[in-house]
């Protein structure tokens, strides 16, 4: 068969291209690692770098023996764990390497579900990260002691950020991590891919297939209260908010009532004001008020921005000690719903 001259020249080229295309079918001497292999390598590195700062905790409470996980946050033996492990227990022993050291509780907060313990030793420690940098599907790693098994890393992703679960509200927004949790892993650190702590495993859900994680910023708020005051000092601002029919100034959080002689009323807030910002937290939804309230501290001036008669107003109020703290139980989920955390008055979620 006769081909045009240009076609004759193209046949060797086409054959070469077919040969090149077929090459990936054959094993290469130094294949590039797959994405899964690369992630597995990073997880191994983070586990090896962080494992010495993660400890097993054993204790006793009114129901019997407890076992959980904790992690050091400074070189002086201070560590975080969950309230269920360290909040009301006694005889606390921490396993550090091949040593068993007695620990004492320095602070515990049933609202958030965190406990802070201390051992008398110099310790390795983990660095805090920023949970606010996480997104849905961000990769995360937990390191804990499941049951009576050795220290174990678990890889997963962020599933969401939740303020309520099964119709009840947390004290602040929690990270929902698609990380399987077994008994003994309560209090384990949740790490980002830099090996920084972004949260603390507080509770499991869906039969342990995932977990709720307290953001590290919330735990640090509790610790800073203790450092400053020797106790946890949640602030109360005394407002009841409901949803405006439509967003006003970008927010639907409208003040419906104020506690008589409460901090908000004394600062000049009024019924009908639209909350735009509380402290550093921008307010757009009702849940934002609850989230912002967690980070208030009794006695610390709190800037608040509202919209009144379509004009923004900047006010400063003085939060007081929380009058409703007795309504909270371990785990940080209010015993009754709705409950507006440190606002004390209920949120009305319907519009």
Percent of the chain with pLDDT over 70: 83
Pair of tokens at residue 67:
């076992």
pLDDT for 347: 40
pLDDT for 339: 25
Distance between CA 116 and CA 226 in Å, rounded? 10
Confidence of residue 295 (pLDDT cuts 50, 70, 90): very high
pLDDT at residue 11 greater than cutoff 50: no
**DSSP letter (8 states) at residue 52:** G
Confidence of residue 136 (pLDDT cuts 50, 70, 90): very high
What torsion, rounded to 10 degrees, do the Cα atoms 68, 221, 141, 82 define?
Answer: 10
Confidence of residue 299 (pLDDT cuts 50, 70, 90): very high
Residue 226 burial (CB count, 10 A): 16
H or E element: which one contains 16?
A: helix 5-22
Evaluate whether 104 touches 118 at the Cβ level (below 8 Å).
yes
More confident residue, 273 or 331: 273
- CB neighbour burial string for 18-55, b if at least 16 within 10 angstroms, e if fewer: eeeeeeeeeeeeeeeeeeeeeeeebbeebbeebbebbb
In three-state secondary structure terms, 305 is: strand
pLDDT at residue 25 greater than cutoff 70: no
pLDDT for 28: 57
List of residues 6+ apart from 130 with CB closer than 8 A? 196, 198, 216, 217
Positive or negative: CA dihedral 327, 331, 335, 341: positive
pLDDT at residue 124 greater than cutoff 70: yes
**DSSP letter (8 states) at residue 322:** -
Q: DSSP 3-state helix, strand, coil percentages of the chain (rounded to 5)?
A: 25, 40, 35
CA 55 to centroid of chain Cα atoms? 20
pLDDT at residue 13 greater than cutoff 60: no
pLDDT for 19: 43
Average pLDDT over residues 192-210: 94
pTM of the predicted protein model: 0.83
pLDDT at residue 185 greater than cutoff 90: yes
Of 67-81, 227-241, 243-257, 331-345, give the lowest mean pLDDT range: 331-345
Nearest C-alpha neighbor of 180 from the set 210, 203, 155, 158: 210
pLDDT for 30: 63
Evaluate whether 194 touches 129 at the Cβ level (below 8 Å).
yes
Distance between CA 27 and CA 30 in Å, rounded? 9
Distance between CA 300 and CA 139 in Å, rounded? 36
Evaluate whether 105 touches 92 at the Cβ level (below 8 Å).
yes
pLDDT at residue 349 greater than cutoff 80: no
Confidence of residue 52 (pLDDT cuts 50, 70, 90): very high
Average pLDDT over residues 38-53: 96
Evaluate whether 120 touches 77 at the Cβ level (below 8 Å).
yes
pLDDT at residue 40 greater than cutoff 60: yes
CA distances from 19 to 9, 22, 28, 30, 32 (A): 17, 5, 15, 19, 20
Nearest C-alpha neighbor of 89 from the set 102, 78, 105: 105
More confident residue, 210 or 328: 210
Is omega for the bond preceding 338 within 30 degrees of 0, making it cis?
A: yes
Distance between CA 81 and CA 85 in Å, rounded? 7
H or E element: which one contains 102?
A: strand 99-102
Distance between CA 238 and CA 320 in Å, rounded? 9
pLDDT for 33: 77
Provide the mean pLDDT of the chain. Answer: 86
pLDDT at residue 186 greater than cutoff 90: yes
Average pLDDT over residues 147-176: 95
pLDDT at residue 275 greater than cutoff 60: yes
Q: How far apart are the first and last CA of the chain?
A: 80
pLDDT at residue 255 greater than cutoff 80: yes
In three-state secondary structure terms, 5 is: helix
């Amino acid at each position: 068969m006769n081909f045009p001259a240009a076609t004759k020249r193209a046949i060797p080229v086409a054959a070469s291209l077919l040969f090149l295309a077929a090459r990936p079918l054959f094993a290469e001497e130094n294949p590039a690692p797959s994405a899964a292999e690369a992630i597995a390598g990073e997880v191994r590195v983070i586990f090896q770098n962080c494992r010495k700062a993660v400890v097993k905790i054993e204790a006793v409470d009114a129901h019997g023996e407890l076992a959980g996980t904790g992690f050091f946050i400074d070189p002086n033996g201070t560590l975080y764990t969950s309230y269920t492990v360290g909040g009301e227990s006694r005889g606390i022993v921490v396993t550090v390497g091949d040593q068993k050291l007695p620990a004492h509780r320095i602070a515990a907060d049933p609202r958030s579900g965190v406990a802070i313990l201390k051992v008398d030793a110099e310790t390795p420690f983990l660095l805090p990260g920023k949970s606010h940098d996480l997104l849905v599907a961000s990769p995360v790693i937990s390191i804990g002691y499941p049951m009576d098994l050795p220290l174990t890393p678990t890889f997963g992703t962020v599933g969401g950020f939740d303020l309520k679960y099964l119709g009840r509200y947390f004290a602040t927004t929690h990270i929902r991590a698609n990380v399987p949790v077994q008994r003994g892993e309560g209090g384990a650190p949740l790490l980002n891919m830099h090996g920084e702590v972004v949260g603390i495993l507080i509770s499991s859900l869906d039969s342990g297939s995932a977990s709720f994680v307290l953001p590290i910023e919330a735990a640090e708020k509790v610790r800073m209260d203790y450092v400053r005051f020797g106790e946890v000092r949640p602030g109360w601002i005394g407002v009841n908010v409901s949803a405006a029919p439509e967003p006003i100034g970008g927010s639907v959080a409208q003040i419906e009532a104020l506690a008589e002689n409460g901090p908000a009323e004394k600062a000049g807030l009024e019924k009908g004001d639209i909350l735009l910002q509380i402290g550093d937290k921008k307010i757009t939804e009702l849940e934002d008020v609850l989230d912002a309230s967690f980070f208030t501290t009794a006695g610390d001036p709190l800037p608040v921005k509202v919209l009144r008669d379509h004009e923004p107003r900047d006010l400063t109020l003085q939060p007081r000690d929380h009058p409703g703290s007795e309504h909270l139980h371990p785990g940080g989920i209010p015993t009754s719903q709705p409950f507006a955390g440190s606002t004390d008055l209920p949120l009305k979620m319907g519009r």
